[in-house]
Amino acid sequence: MVRPTGRVLALLELLQSGGIRTAAELADRLGVDGRTVRRYVDHLVDLDIPVEAVRGRYGGYRLAPGYRLPPLMLDDDEALAVLLGLLAGPRTGLLTAAGTGTVTAGETAAAKIRRALPERLARRLDAVMQSLAFTAPPGEWATPATGVLLALADAVRHRRPISLRYTTRDGRRSERTLHPYGIVTHAGRWYVTGTDPGIGQDRTFRLDRIADARALPGSFEPPAGSDPAQRVLSGLAEAAYRHDVALRIHGTVEQIRARLPAGIATLEEPAPEDGTDPHAERWIRVGVRAERLDWLPPVLASLDRPFVIERPDELRDLVIAFADRLTASARRT
């Protein structure tokens, strides 16, 4: 049997989720009648929790705007999900900068949540954390500043132009204006993508290289069907790097993409001939821009598809040397 105190706490949890909740909705969720809901609301008000009654056709109850209640009301599944997410954050780059020091914002948040949990649940979660091991240490990710991330997210949501102070890879600093379409995380880094209104071109910026972000007056409309993630992947594949690699690989798009995804390579598919299967294996031109070439020979070998290296000659020499090492290892007894 559910005690009245438990239902009062359940009512508080519903109100903390935000918005206006009608008396009928609350009664249905709590399994009581409307009169009892009003009595539970009075209990919360007696505890100095500012529950407001909103009149009108769409009226109901809500917590006063800006009010935040300290206690956390998490069940076992929710608490485990939150703490595992905070623990995995440093290993995926999904963190924001937390100022100076060696303790991350994720670690301090996890500690606060741990202290707020009932002892029974906290002990069970401690057992999970102590039993858990990762196969690699946290990556050295360049994380964005919290203020920059929040300013960009607000500009994306409200379609506002934003001014950025940006430092390029070679250390050049500049002031940029951007119509931001979305924020994307890829390979442990954060990016914002949009259009530079001054030159009318798509631009993608790394958030960890942004020193300051300020919203500007006005608004904009993003293009129809805009896909921020695809924009970032295409921009990374077409960015200027030290080596411009051109290949022809015999296979399907799916086979090639399994080893050379969109963020690494561009594909130029020939038009299928009449009567042929458009998904059949064929020669496809592949472009790759890379700072180093030493990782490409094992990737091409793992494709296990016929390929031709058009440029550069340095890659051809690396592939031959890699094949010689494989042959020597296979013959070794």
**Can you tell me the distance from the alpha carbon of 133 to that of 89, in angstroms, rounded to the nearest whole number?**
14
Q: Is 304 left (phi over 0), alpha (psi -120 to 50) or beta?
A: left
**Same domain flag for 58 and 112:** no
Task: Tell me the average pLDDT across 252-263.
Answer: 87
List the CATH number of the domain containing 307: 3.30.70
Picking from 41, 63, 85, the residue at the C-terminal end of a domain is 63
Quote the number of domains for the chain: 4
Q: What is the pLDDT of residue 285?
A: 93
Q: Is 3 left (phi over 0), alpha (psi -120 to 50) or beta?
A: beta
**Same domain flag for 206 and 256:** no
Say if residue 2's pLDDT is above 50: no
Q: What's the token pair of residue 44? A: 């919360």
pLDDT tens per residue, range 23-80:
888 988 888 888 999 999 998 888 888 888 888 877 789 888 766 655 556 677 777 7
Give a yes or no: residue 138 inside a domain. Answer: no
Task: Tell me the average pLDDT across 295-318.
Answer: 92
pLDDT tens per residue, range 192-243:
999 999 888 888 898 989 999 999 999 998 888 778 888 887 777 666 677 8
Q: The tokens 């949540």 sit on which residue?
A: 113
Q: What is the pLDDT of residue 103?
A: 53
Picking from 195, 226, 257, the residue at the C-terminal end of a domain is 226
Give 17 or 253, the one with higher predicted confidence: 253
Alpha-helix runs per DSSP H in the chain? 4-16, 23-30, 34-46, 76-88, 105-116, 119-131, 146-158, 228-238, 253-257, 296-303, 313-331
pLDDT tens per residue, range 113-172:
777 777 777 787 777 777 776 666 655 566 788 888 888 999 999 999 999 999 987 788
The β-bridge partners of 97 are 145
**Same domain flag for 187 and 222:** yes
Give a yes or no: residue 272 inside a domain. Answer: yes
If residue 187 lies in a helix (H) or strand (E), which one and from where to where? none
Say if residue 100's pLDDT is above 50: no
Q: What is the pLDDT of residue 179?
A: 94
**Same domain flag for 126 and 155:** no
Q: What is the pLDDT of residue 164?
A: 94
**Same domain flag for 219 and 169:** yes
Q: Is 167 left (phi over 0), alpha (psi -120 to 50) or beta?
A: beta
Give a yes or no: residue 81 inside a domain. Answer: yes
Give a yes or no: residue 68 inside a domain. Answer: no
Give a yes or no: residue 298 inside a domain. Answer: yes
Band of pLDDT at residue 93, cut at 50, 70 and 90: low
List the CATH number of the domain containing 16: 1.10.10.10
Residue type, 263: G
Give a yes or no: residue 95 inside a domain. Answer: yes
Give a yes or no: residue 238 inside a domain. Answer: no
Whose CA is closest to 265, among 249, 280, 279?
249
Say which DSSP state 258 is in. Answer: T
Instruction: Give the least confident one: 130-144, 201-215, 258-272, 290-304.
Output: 130-144
List the CATH number of the domain containing 179: 2.30.30.520
Q: What is the pLDDT of residue 248?
A: 94
Q: What is the pTM of this model?
A: 0.53
| Residue 48: burial class (beta carbons within 10 Å; 0-12, 13-18, 19+) | exposed
The whole domain housing 26 covers 4-63
Picking from 196, 226, 256, the residue at the C-terminal end of a domain is 226
Say if residue 292's pLDDT is above 80: yes
Band of pLDDT at residue 97, cut at 50, 70 and 90: low
Band of pLDDT at residue 83, cut at 50, 70 and 90: confident
Give a yes or no: residue 250 inside a domain. Answer: yes
DSSP string, 60-119: EEEEPTT----S----HHHHHHHHHHHHHGGGTT---B-SSSS--HHHHHHHHHHHHS-H
